[in-house]
Amino acid sequence: MDAAALSPFSSAGAALRRQASVRPDAEALAFPLSGGRRTFAEWLEEAEAVARGLLGLGLEPGQHVALLAENRLEWPISQLGFALAGLVSVPLNSHYRRDDLAYALDHSDSVAVLLSRRFRSSEYLEMLQGQRKQFPRLQHVICFDGGGEDVLAYDDIVKAGRVSRRPLPEVSSSDIAALLFTSGTTGFPKGALLNHAAMLADSWGSARRLRVAPEDRWTSMIPLFHCAGCIMNLLGTLQSGATYVGVPAFDPVAMCEMIEKERCTLLSGVPTAYTAMLNHPERRRYDLASLRAGTCGGADVDGELLRRCAVEFPIPRLCQVYG
């Protein structure tokens, strides 16, 4: 079966261009807890600026660029910027500590990294700068929260890209789109290379099974560095013309409040998080009736948990996913 039979799009960039063409003013990204929203047209404009800005630094299609951040607005913009530039995205686990980060950057052959300065107790930029000499291939460090010595500011990359007239490359479905690391439970994490066709087929199939439509608003407890986050959730909403509603990190009360305020229709999570929401004493204060479907994965789940969520949230079409 060829790629065209598995997704209507040849690449993530092609999907974004299509949605920006047919529904430019529809909300594509919403990060209400961190204050950012973008329409499809705005997402495309900023992603193209990121793409041109990175190519303007001397990066070339096919090179690897790492992402180290919590779920924030700049993440999906950067992911699509990489796709439009023909670069390979390397999502890094936001729980990495110094040695994990060193291993991943070295083994991924990343020539640049875009990152948050810090998140919670993790000082990402400080961790990286303290061992930067170990990574001779790493040419550029770009911080979402402003620049500094030997550190470029994300905003400056975007500004440079907006005035650039550099043509963007043709990207095919067989081009490598991402390098994702395994969890490393049985040894060192292994890098898995995924092309555009594979990522789009996975997310398109999931979205079709869940009947995702442009009026849907899909939120998730899952970090964007995980395949369920950056592929199933993000590319599923993108291909469907729906809205991705992001949260920096999971908190049961904050999640309930956001679902109510944003009128989210789909929810993705893991068994422990669903249990935390289900059993939280404040859950019943919130109206979650906008939810119509969702996914639960990442670990084995008791069928009784799914049944309770279906009835008590309610979220009637909650299903287990794996793979």
pLDDT tens string 309-322: 999 999 999 998 87
Q: What is the mean pLDDT of residues 141-147?
A: 97
* Per-residue pLDDT, 3: 52
CB atoms within 10 A of CB 68: 26
Q: Is the pLDDT of residue 4 over 60?
A: no
pLDDT band at 301 (very low <50, low <70, confident <90, very high): confident
Contacts of residue 54, defined as CB under 8 A and 6 or more positions apart, other chains included, come to 65, 81, 82, 85, 87, 112, 157, 161
pTM value?
Answer: 0.95
Name the residue with tokens 């040695």. Answer: 99
Would you state the structure tokens that stand for residue 318, as one six-digit string? 């909650």
**CA contacts within 13 A on the Cβ side of 59:** 34
Q: Is the pLDDT of residue 224 over 70?
A: yes
Q: 157-171, 183-197, 273-287 — which is least confidently predicted? A: 183-197
Contacts of residue 26, defined as CB under 8 A and 6 or more positions apart, other chains included, come to 19, 39, 40, 214, 241, 243
Task: Using a pLDDT cut of 70, give the percent of the chain over it.
Answer: 98
Peptide bond into 24 cis (omega under 30): no
How is residue 170 annotated by DSSP? P
How is residue 187 annotated by DSSP? S
Q: What is the mean pLDDT of residues 33-37?
A: 89
Q: Is the pLDDT of residue 323 over 80?
A: no
**How is 61-114 classified by DSSP, letter by letter?**
TT-EEEEE-SS-THHHHHHHHHHHHTPEEEE--TT--HHHHHHHHHHHTEEEEE
pLDDT band at 1 (very low <50, low <70, confident <90, very high): very low
Task: Using a pLDDT cut of 90, give the percent of the chain over it.
Answer: 89
Q: What is the mean pLDDT of residues 75-81?
A: 98
Q: Is the pLDDT of residue 156 over 60?
A: yes
Q: Tell me the C-alpha distance between 173 and 195, whole Å.
A: 7
Q: Is the pLDDT of residue 205 over 90?
A: yes
Q: What is the mean pLDDT of residues 152-156?
A: 98
Q: 77-86, 171-180, 209-218, 298-307 — which is least confidently predicted? A: 298-307
Would you state the structure tokens that stand for residue 248, as one six-digit string? 């920096």
Q: Backbone phi, then psi, for 88, in 5-degree steps?
A: -100, 120
Contacts of residue 135, defined as CB under 8 A and 6 or more positions apart, other chains included, come to 102, 105, 106, 110
Q: Is the pLDDT of residue 2 over 60?
A: no
Q: Is the pLDDT of residue 183 over 90?
A: no
Query: Could you report the per-residue pLDDT of 225-239, keeping only the tens digit for each?
Result: 999 999 999 999 999
Burial of 209 (0-12, 13-18, 19+ CB in 10 A): middle
